[in-house]
């Protein structure tokens, strides 16, 4: 039977690239995003590859909207086999004491609560159907500490705790949960962040042993491997994909 994946933040960057890569494997895709334009663009791109897809407009920071995207995916496709729990924002890049409480709440709401709600509702469906596979998007900033992204880093460290602890509870029931920790990757999010903070682009590239940013396609390849049965015995893992960045810290 054709498998189904939910991809949050599927309208851009890592989510869109992964949707395209998964579609190449013949997997149906539910694209979840707040952006209708991006979400519909991804749906068009994956349908052109011969799979079925829907766009579901949802804000992952709202539990009721997370439940809605899970329910709508089940109505349309009848199963959720793979979940790329990926929607996230980076924040302003200001030092922590210069950030507002509103910004802190927004980043935690989308990056951490959004990921927790996603796993809460998706894993419930997966476990009823005998299991499934989840990849959560952490970051280099979830593995090491970094300036200018304190709240973001806190949420990404949290994603890793979510990943490992889910495995402790549910691996025995057929659930696999892994995380990826990308370094700076050339997506729209990073482009706009570096445009606002040009000095950080130079610092970022010079600090990467491979002296370049990652590409969304490289990340999509890793996520597809981790989600699908090719990685059947990999569980609770955090895979860094960062050109050696964090290994030198």
Ligand X SMILES: NC(=O)c1ccc[n+]([C@@H]2O[C@H](COP(=O)([O-])OP(=O)(O)OC[C@H]3O[C@@H](n4cnc5c(N)ncnc54)[C@H](O)[C@@H]3O)[C@@H](O)[C@H]2O)c1
Catalytic residue list: 152
Smallest separation (angstroms) from ligand X to the CB of 13: 2
Residue 188 engages ligand X in binding (rule: CB under 6 A): yes
Residue 118 engages ligand X in binding (rule: CB under 6 A): no
Residue 187 engages ligand X in binding (rule: CB under 6 A): yes
Smallest separation (angstroms) from ligand X to the CB of 213: 7
Biggest distance spanned by C-alpha atoms of the chain:
52
Query: Using CB under 6 A, which of 189, 197, 236, 237 touches ligand X?
Result: 189
Comparing CB distances to ligand X, the nearer of 71 and 169 is: 71
Query: Using CB under 6 A, which of 4, 5, 7, 9 touches ligand X?
Result: 9
Residue 132 engages ligand X in binding (rule: CB under 6 A): no
Q: Which range binds ligand X by CB under 6 A, 19-27, 53-61, 120-128, 165-173?
A: 53-61
Query: Using CB under 6 A, which of 91, 118, 184, 243 touches ligand X?
Result: 184
Q: Which range binds ligand X by CB under 6 A, 67-75, 76-84, 85-93, 116-124?
A: 85-93
What would the 3-class secondary structure string for the chain be?
CCCEEEEECCCCHHHHHHHHHHHCCCCEEEEEECCHHHHHHHHHHHHCCCCCEEEEECCCCCHHHHHHHHHHHHHHHCCCCEEEECCCCCCCCCCHHHCCHHHHHHHHHHHHHHHHHHHHHHHHHHHHCCCEEEEEECCHHHCCCCCCCHHHHHHHHHHHHHHHHHHHHHHHHCEEEEEEEECCECCHHHHHHHHHCHHHHHHHHHCCCCCCCECHHHHHHHHHHHHCHHHCCCCCCEEEECCCCHHHC
Site string for ligand X, 57-76 (x = CB under 6 A): --xxx---------------
Residues of this chain that bind ligand X (CB under 6 A): 8-9, 11-15, 33-35, 38, 59-61, 86-89, 110, 137, 139, 182, 184-185, 187-190
């Amino acid at each position: 039977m054709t498998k189904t994946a939910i991809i949050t933040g599927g309208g851009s960057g890592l989510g869109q690239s992964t949707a395209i890569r998964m579609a190449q494997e013949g997997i149906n895709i539910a694209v979840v995003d707040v952006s209708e334009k991006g979400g519909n663009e991804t749906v068009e791109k994956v349908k052109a590859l011969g799979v079925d897809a829907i766009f579901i407009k949802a804000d992952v920071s709202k539990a009721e909207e997370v439940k809605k995207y899970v329910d709508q995916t089940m109505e349309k496709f009848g199963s959720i086999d793979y979940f790329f729990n990926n929607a996230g924002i980076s924040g302003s890049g200001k030092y922590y004491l210069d950030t507002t409480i509103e910004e802190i709440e927004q980043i935690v709401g989308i990056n951490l609560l959004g990921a927790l709600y996603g796993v809460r509702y998706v894993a419930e469906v997966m476990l009823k159907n005998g299991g499934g596979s989840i990849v959560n998007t952490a970051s280099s900033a979830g593995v090491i500490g970094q300036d200018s992204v304190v709240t973001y880093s806190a949420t990404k460290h949290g994603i890793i705790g979510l990943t490992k602890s889910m495995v402790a509870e549910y691996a025995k029931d057929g659930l696999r949960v892994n995380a990826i920790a990308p370094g700076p990757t050339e997506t729209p999010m990073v482009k706009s962040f570096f445009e606002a903070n040009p000095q950080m682009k130079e610092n970022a590239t010079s600090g990467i042993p491979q002296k370049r940013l990652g590409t969304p396609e490289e990340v999509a390849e890793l996520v597809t491997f981790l989600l699908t049965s090719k990685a059947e015995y990999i569980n609770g893992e955090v895979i860094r994909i960062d050109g050696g960045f964090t290994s030198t810290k």
